[in-house]
Structure 1
Amino acid sequence: MAGPSSDYLPPPNTANPALKPIPYPHMLHAAPPEVPATPLPNPEDIPASPAWNPSSRTPRPGDDAPSPYWLRDSCFNGMRLSLRLINMDPDFYGGKHEGKCGEFREVVGDAVKIKVGFQSLEVPFKYLVPERPEIACQMVAAFDGPHKGRQFKIQRFSQDVCGCSDLKAKSYRRQIDAEIPTKDLVVTRA
């Protein structure tokens, strides 16, 4: 009788039918691949690529928006607009509010007073961008264009243009009153 072969499968375990024999036992001892599945970049390429930079953060829609100097317009007084803090200096509140959203209160000189949680902050315009809508049914305000200063509910969302219904309508309607570029909208809080 010859010795065991690598293709040998033991007989099925009749005592416990849930245990099944391993169909390819020779695969259990396969050597790991010699190259990683994703090749590492050359060391000189790492600073040029944020994907390989462990300190980089994932950009969010709206991070490229201009600072909200439009808040100086009196048509936004009393609106509960959502603003996100970005690109903060480490010296400014220790950078601990980076990426958080706050609610617009008022413009104070060259800064914007916002509420972040239970804390009230005065933040320079350069650290703020409008929080962009991401789905239908969000309440928004237009901060540019012919509908500037008006509030809407998004009925149809897209990355380019949103179909919006006017919140000042006399009756509850689901019809689209305006097509507004998404880049000109800021989320409002109820």
Structure 2
Amino acid sequence: MLYPAPPPEVPATPLPSLQDIPASPTWNPSSRTPHPGDDAPPPYWLRDSCFNGMRLSLEVINTRPDFFDKKHEGKTVEFKEVVGDMVKTKDGFQMLEVPFKYLIPTRPESARQRVTAFDGPHKGREFKIQHFSQDVCGCSDLKAKSYRRKIDAEIRTKDLVVTRG
């Protein structure tokens, strides 16, 4: 006859003290760390001329403590152009030059969004997402003459950036 194992005397993962909870994002259920897109490298692909004039959506991340005193942390900005080692962006009515290392592409989150492929065989082309998943999106080419709900390409979600309409 098998007997159940006795319960452990100590929890497998020790709980923090109450004063440590606000200081640790690990124990804070509302914490967003790691930040969405932290796995995305800086958007050096913006240097490619195929993105000139496109209204791409970028997020400002990881600016603590040295970039504009965190004033723009977490904001979504619009790509304007690359100027040397900086990316000229627009935050509302304010123009802002941001180093590449503080930017990531805004990733799509649902169907019907306009996106641009920034890598792969469809690089620089605009699409509308017809079928969304965390891994691959079924997209219709906005320049194609075909029926708009047709899926013209399946593109990895991590290779897409949201395009402002």
- Equivalence for 1:99: 74
Q: Higher Cα Rg: structure 1 or 2? A: 1
Q: What does 1:133-144 correspond to in 2, within 5 Å?
A: 133-144=108-119
1:66 equivalent among 35, 38, 41: 41
1:124 equivalent in alignment to 2:99? yes
Q: Can you list the C-alpha shifts for 1:83-105, whole angstroms capped at 9, x where unaligned? A: 00000032311101111000000
Q: Can you list the C-alpha shifts for 1:85-129, whole angstroms capped at 9, x where unaligned? A: 000032311101111000000000001000011111000000000
1:183 aligned counterpart, secondary structure: helix
What runs of 5+ residues in structure 2 fail to find an aligned partner? 1-13
Cα RMSD, aligned residues only: 2.4
Q: TM-score scaled to structure 2, two decimals? A: 0.82
Name whichever of 57-66 and 109-118 sits farther off.
Answer: 57-66
- Equivalence for 1:79: 54
Q: Which amino acid aligns with 1:156?
A: H
Runs of 4+ aligned structure 1 residues displaced above 4 Å come to none
What runs of 5+ residues in structure 1 fail to find an aligned partner? 1-38
- Equivalence for 1:166: 141
2:122 equivalent among 147, 151, 158: 147
